[in-house]
Amino acid sequence: MYKFLRDDQGTAAIEYSLFVSLIGMMIVVALQALGANLLDAFSSVSSGLTPVQIIEDSR
């Protein structure tokens, strides 16, 4: 039992998975905070664009 408790082979994988999950949570929080601003920016760009008319050539 003592040998089992002192074995630390799997700790690196657990630490990496914790780091990855923490980074993922930070990305989600950042996107939620910036989401409204990005929506406003894309809406203003979209409203500023003019539609393009395609003229077909009838030869």
Q: Give me the amino acid identity at 16.
A: Y
- 21 exposed, middle or buried (CB, 10 Å; 0-12, 13-18, 19+)? exposed
The string of pLDDT tens digits covering residues 17-45 is: 999 999 999 999 998 888 888 888 889 99
CA distance 23 to 29: 10
User: Nearest 5°: phi and psi at 57?
Assistant: -85, 125
Residue with tokens 């050539």: 57
What's the one-letter identity of residue 28?
V
Going by pLDDT thresholds of 50, 70 and 90, the confidence category of residue 54 is: confident
